[in-house]
C-alpha cells in the first residue's frame, strides 16, 4: 500500500512528456546525488554505486550520476570498504534528474558481545517511537495518555523464542504516579473512558504484567498511561521502563531497560497565543463551525475531538459526515503555517504540533542521514490531499520499502510496527521476529541521535547498531547477511 507515500524525488528539469514520447525508442533520465559519511558528514569519494547492470564511483566531492532508461525503477547499491553496504530504490522519468543521496554507516566492530554470557536475550521496544498526550484535559482531548511496550524473549542455548512458562513485567521506577502531572482522570469519564486514576484506557496500569501478543510471538502492554514527567517533576520524554522476565517459580531470568517515549509538546501556543490557547482553539472552532465547545467548557462539559471527528488512533467513528481529525487539522492549517514568526522559524514545520522543538521525536538513522518528516510523509498539503485521496489516517503510513529495496521491506499491506522478518538466513527463523525487535521503533530507528534508544543493543551486542550479530540470539552461528 503506497498510497500517500511521498518518495524523495526532485525533478531538477521538468520534462516535456510530448518530447519523451516523440523521441521514440529508448528515452533516458538520470539518477544523481552525493555520498557522505553519516557520522562525520564529509563527502566520500570512490564509493561504488551500482544498479546491478552498470556501476559508477563517486568523484572527489562525493557526487555521482547514472544515466538510465526511463520508465523503470532501479535498485541501487552503495558499497565501499569499511562501511555497511546499503540499498535505495529510485524510479527514472525521461529527461529528469532524480536525486538519491546516501549517508554511509561505518562497518560493525569486532568486539566480543556481552550476550555471550547470558542464557536469555530480551528484546523490547515502544511501538511508535513517540506518543503524544496532554498536561491539561480540562478543555478538550486530542489523545489520552497511552504508551505501548513490546517484548520478545530468546533462549540462546535452545535457539528458540520463549512464549510460555515465563512472566514478563514492566515498571517505571521514576514514573509511578501520573496523577501528579496530568488531570486526565478528572475528565476521563466525559471522554468516554471508565478507568481509575493511573490506569490507561485499555486497563494497563503504570506497572504490571504483559500478556502474549496477537501473533503469539512476544509480550505486550498496551496503553500504559505514563507522562513525560518523573515523579519528582523532572521533564524526561524518554523515560526508562524496566522489563523483568521470570520463570514459573518466580526466579528472575533476565532484566532489561527500554525507552518509552511520550511528550506533551504540542506547540499550538505558537499561533494560538492568546492568554489561554486552549480556550482560543475552542472559540475559533465555535466561530467557524457554529459549535458550542467554549460555552460547554464553561459549564464543565468537555469534548474529545474524536466525539465528532473520526479518528483511527482511537478507533472512533465520530459523527457521520464530519471529516477525520487528521484531515481537519492538516487541511485547515496547511495555509496557516506562516501565521506567526515563531511558527515560521519552527523546523520542520511539523514540530508546531508534533513533539517538538525540545523533544525531537525524529531522531532515528534516517534523521541522521538528513531526511525529515517531509521526505517520508510529505508536507502539510500532501498530508491532507493523501487523506482526501483515500489514505486511511494512522493505518496507511510511509514504508521502509519505499526507499530501501524489496529485501528490506515491510510485509505486504502491513505497517512497519506490525511487520515480521520473513527473509531470514534460515527458514525456521522466518515469521518469528518483529522488525522493531532489531531496528527499534519508527522515528527512533537504530542507530539514533538519542542516547536513550540503544540500551538493548548496548546490553547484548556491545554497540549501538541495530541487532546484526547472530550470536546475540544463538550461542553458535556464523555472522552473515540478515535479510535474504
Q: Between 94 and 302, name the residue whose CB sits nearer to ligand HEC.
A: 302
Determine if 480 is a binding residue for ligand HEC (CB under 6 A). Answer: yes
CA angle in degrees (0–180, nearest 5) for 101-104-106:
175
CA angle in degrees (0–180, nearest 5) for 131-136-142:
50
With b for 16 or more beta-carbon neighbours within 10 A and e for fewer, the 125-143 pattern comes to bbbbbbbbbbeebebbbbb
Judged by CB under 6 A, the chain residues 164 through 193 that form the site for ligand HEC are none
Q: Provide, rounded to whole angstroms, the least separation between the CB of residue 235 and ligand HEC.
A: 19
CA angle in degrees (0–180, nearest 5) for 377-378-383:
85
Other C-beta atoms lying within 10 Å of the C-beta of residue 377: 19
Choosing from 45, 331, 385, 464, the residue that interacts with ligand HEC (CB under 6 A) is 331
Determine if 271 is a binding residue for ligand HEC (CB under 6 A). Answer: yes
Q: Provide, rounded to whole angstroms, the least separation between the CB of residue 22 and ligand HEC.
A: 33
Residue in this structure with the C-alpha cell 558481545, named with its chain if needed: 113
Choosing from 1, 8, 207, 242, the residue that interacts with ligand HEC (CB under 6 A) is 8
Choosing from 419, 448, 450, 459, the residue that interacts with ligand HEC (CB under 6 A) is 419
Site string for ligand HEC, 283-302 (x = CB under 6 A): -xx-xxx-x-x---------
Judged by CB under 6 A, the chain residues 383 through 412 that form the site for ligand HEC are 383, 387, 393-394, 397-398, 400, 402-404, 408-410
Determine if 279 is a binding residue for ligand HEC (CB under 6 A). Answer: no
Judged by CB under 6 A, the chain residues 455 through 474 that form the site for ligand HEC are 466-468, 470, 472-474
Determine if 371 is a binding residue for ligand HEC (CB under 6 A). Answer: yes
Judged by CB under 6 A, the chain residues 45 through 84 that form the site for ligand HEC are 84
User: CA-CA distance, 119 to 177, in Å (whole number)?
Assistant: 34
Q: Between 48 and 176, name the residue whose CB sits nearer to ligand HEC.
A: 48
User: CA-CA distance, 5 to 404, in Å (whole number)?
Assistant: 13
- Least Cα distance to 102 among 163, 181, 171, 43 occurs for 43
Q: Between 87 and 235, name the residue whose CB sits nearer to ligand HEC.
A: 87
User: CA-CA distance, 373 to 207, in Å (whole number)?
Assistant: 33
Determine if 220 is a binding residue for ligand HEC (CB under 6 A). Answer: no
Distance of CA 342 to the CA centre of its chain: 26
Q: Between 95 and 254, name the residue whose CB sits nearer to ligand HEC.
A: 254
Please report how many Cα atoms fall inside a 13 Å half-sphere around the Cα of residue 190, on the Cβ side: 19
Q: Cβ-count burial of 61 within 10 angstroms (0-12 exposed, 13-18 middle, 19+ buried)?
A: exposed
- Least Cα distance to 71 among 25, 122, 8 occurs for 25
Judged by CB under 6 A, the chain residues 239 through 268 that form the site for ligand HEC are 266-268
Q: Cβ-count burial of 376 within 10 angstroms (0-12 exposed, 13-18 middle, 19+ buried)?
A: buried
Residue in this structure with the C-alpha cell 559508477, named with its chain if needed: 56
Q: Between 175 and 474, name the residue whose CB sits nearer to ligand HEC.
A: 474
Choosing from 124, 198, 352, 448, the residue that interacts with ligand HEC (CB under 6 A) is 352
Determine if 377 is a binding residue for ligand HEC (CB under 6 A). Answer: yes
Q: Between 12 and 338, name the residue whose CB sits nearer to ligand HEC.
A: 338
Q: Between 263 and 352, name the residue whose CB sits nearer to ligand HEC.
A: 352
Determine if 122 is a binding residue for ligand HEC (CB under 6 A). Answer: no
Q: Provide, rounded to whole angstroms, the least separation between the CB of residue 323 and ligand HEC.
A: 4
- Least Cα distance to 135 among 257, 269, 282 occurs for 269
With b for 16 or more beta-carbon neighbours within 10 A and e for fewer, the 44-53 pattern comes to beebbbbbee
Choosing from 303, 450, 452, 457, the residue that interacts with ligand HEC (CB under 6 A) is 303
Determine if 36 is a binding residue for ligand HEC (CB under 6 A). Answer: no
Judged by CB under 6 A, the chain residues 132 through 171 that form the site for ligand HEC are 140, 142-143, 154, 159-161
From 91-99, 166-174, 177-185, 332-340, give the range in contact with ligand HEC by CB under 6 A.
Answer: 332-340
Amino acid at each position: 500500500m503506497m498510497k500517500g507515500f511521498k518518495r524523495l524525488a526532485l525533478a531538477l528539469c521538468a520534462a516535456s512528456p510530448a518530447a519523451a514520447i516523440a523521441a521514440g525508442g529508448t528515452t533516458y533520465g538520470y539518477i544523481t546525488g552525493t555520498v557522505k559519511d553519516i557520522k562525520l558528514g564529509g563527502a566520500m569519494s570512490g564509493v561504488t554505486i551500482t544498479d546491478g547492470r552498470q556501476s559508477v564511483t563517486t568523484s572527489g566531492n562525493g557526487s555521482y550520476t547514472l544515466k538510465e532508461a526511463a520508465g523503470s525503477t532501479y535498485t541501487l547499491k552503495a558499497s565501499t570498504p569499511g562501511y555497511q553496504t546499503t540499498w535505495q530504490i529510485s524510479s527514472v522519468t525521461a529527461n529528469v534528474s532524480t536525486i538519491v543521496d546516501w549517508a554511509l554507516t561505518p562497518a560493525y566492530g569486532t568486539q566480543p558481545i556481552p550476550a555471550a554470557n547470558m542464557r536469555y536475550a530480551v528484546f523490547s521496544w515502544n511501538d511508535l517511537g513517540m506518543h503524544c498526550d496532554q498536561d491539561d484535559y480540562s478543555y478538550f482531548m486530542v489523545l489520552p495518555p497511552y504508551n505501548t511496550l513490546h517484548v520478545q524473549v530468546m533462549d540462546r542455548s535452545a535457539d528458540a523464542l520463549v512464549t510460555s512458562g515465563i512472566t514478563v513485567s514492566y515498571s517505571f521506577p521514576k514514573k509511578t504516579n501520573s496523577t501528579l502531572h496530568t488531570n486526565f482522570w478528572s475528565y476521563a469519564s466525559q471522554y468516554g473512558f471508565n478507568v481509575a486514576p493511573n490506569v490507561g484506557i485499555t486497563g494497563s496500569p503504570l506497572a504490571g504484567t504483559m500478556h502474549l501478543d496477537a501473533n503469539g510471538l512476544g509480550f505486550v502492554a498496551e496503553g500504559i498511561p505514563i507522562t513525560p514527567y518523573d515523579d519528582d517533576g523532572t521533564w524526561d520524554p524518554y523515560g526508562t521502563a524496566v522489563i523483568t522476565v521470570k520463570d514459573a517459580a518466580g526466579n528472575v531470568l533476565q532484566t532489561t531497560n527500554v525507552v518509552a517515549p511520550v511528550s506533551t509538546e504540542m506547540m499550538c501556543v505558537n499561533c494560538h497565543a492568546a492568554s489561554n490557547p486552549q480556550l482560543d482553539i475552542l472559540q475559533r472552532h465555535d466561530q467557524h463551525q457554529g459549535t458550542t465547545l467554549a460555552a460547554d467548557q464553561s459549564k464543565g462539559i468537555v469534548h474529545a475531538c474524536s466525539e465528532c471527528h473520526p479518528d483511527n488512533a482511537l478507533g472512533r467513528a465520530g459523527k457521520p459526515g464530519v471529516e477525520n481529525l487528521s484531515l481537519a487539522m492538516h487541511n485547515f492549517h496547511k495555509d496557516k503555517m506562516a501565521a506567526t514568526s515563531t511558527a515560521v522559524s519552527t523546523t520542520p514545520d511539523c514540530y508546531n504540533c508534533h513533539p517538538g522543538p525540545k523533544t525531537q521525536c525524529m531522531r532515528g538513522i534516517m534523521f541522521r542521514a538528513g531526511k525529515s518528516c517531509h521526505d517520508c510523509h510529505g508536507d502539510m498539503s500532501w498530508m491532507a490531499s493523501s487523506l482526501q485521496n483515500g489514505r486511511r489516517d494512522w493505518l496507511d503510513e510511509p514504508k521502509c520499502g519505499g526507499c530501501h529495496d524489496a529485501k528490506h521491506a515491510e510485509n505486504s499491506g502491513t505497517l512497519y510496527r506490525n511487520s515480521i522478518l520473513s527473509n531470514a538466513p534460515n527458514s525456521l527463523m522466518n515469521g518469528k521476529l518483529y522488525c522493531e525487535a532489531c531496528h527499534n521503533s519508527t522515528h527512533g530507528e537504530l542507530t539514533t541521535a538519542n542516547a536513550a534508544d540503544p540500551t538493548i543493543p548496548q546490553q547484548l551486542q556491545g554497540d549501538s547498531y541495530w541487532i546484526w550479530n547472530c550470536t546475540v540470539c544463538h550461542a553458535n552461528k556464523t555472522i552473515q547477511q540478515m535479510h535474504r
